[in-house]
Amino acid sequence: MYNKIHILISKSVDILSTLFHVDRKFIKFLFVGGINTLFAYIMYSIFITTPLPRPIALLCAYIVGVLWNFKTTGTLVFKSNDNSLIFKFFGVYILTYFINLIALNLLADVGVNKYLAQLIVVPPVSVLTFILFKLFVFKENNNDNNEI
C-alpha cells in the first residue's frame, strides 16, 4: 500500500513542483501532511464523540495519529525506515500534544466549538511538528531538500 501511495505522491509532487516552481520536498510535506492532518482530525472527531474528557480524547487521537504519521512521514517525506526513531518521534508529539491541549483549552474557554477549536489549532501545531521532525528526529541535511 505504501508503494502505491508513494507513486501517487511522487507524480503529484513532480507536477506541482514544475507548475508552481516550488521545492519538491516542501510540496511532498504539504501533501503527506494533509493526509496525516485529515487522518488525525478524523481520529479526534471520533474520540471526542465518546464520553472521554477532552484531554483523554485528544491523547487517544494523538497516539493513533503518531503511529500512522511515523510511517507516512518517515518513509514518504524523509525517506527513513529507521524504526528506532519512534522514540524521538513520540517525544515531538508529547511536546506538541501539550501545546495543542493548551491552545484547545484556551479556545474552548472563550466559547469556540470543540471541533472548530481543533481545526484552528491544527495548522500552527503541524508546522511546529514538521520543524521539530526535520531538526531533531530525522536530522535532515540541507543538501537533501530537493530529493523525493
**How large is the average pLDDT for residues 108-119?**
93
Q: Which three cell numbers stand for residue 128?
A: 511546529
pLDDT tier for residue 147 given thresholds of 50, 70 and 90:
very low
Name the least confident of 7-11, 51-55, 76-80: 7-11
Query: Do 128 and 110 touch, CB atoms closer than 8 A?
Result: no
Residue 93 makes CB contacts below 8 A (sequence gap 6+) with 62, 65, 66, 129
Query: Do 43 and 61 touch, CB atoms closer than 8 A?
Result: yes
Query: Do 26 and 16 touch, CB atoms closer than 8 A?
Result: no
User: Is the pTM above the cut of 0.75?
Assistant: no
Element (H, E) at 39: helix 24-48
pLDDT at 148: 40
**How large is the average pLDDT for residues 67-76?**
88
Name the least confident of 82-86, 111-115, 140-144: 140-144
Task: Express as a percent the part of the chain with pLDDT over 90.
Answer: 42
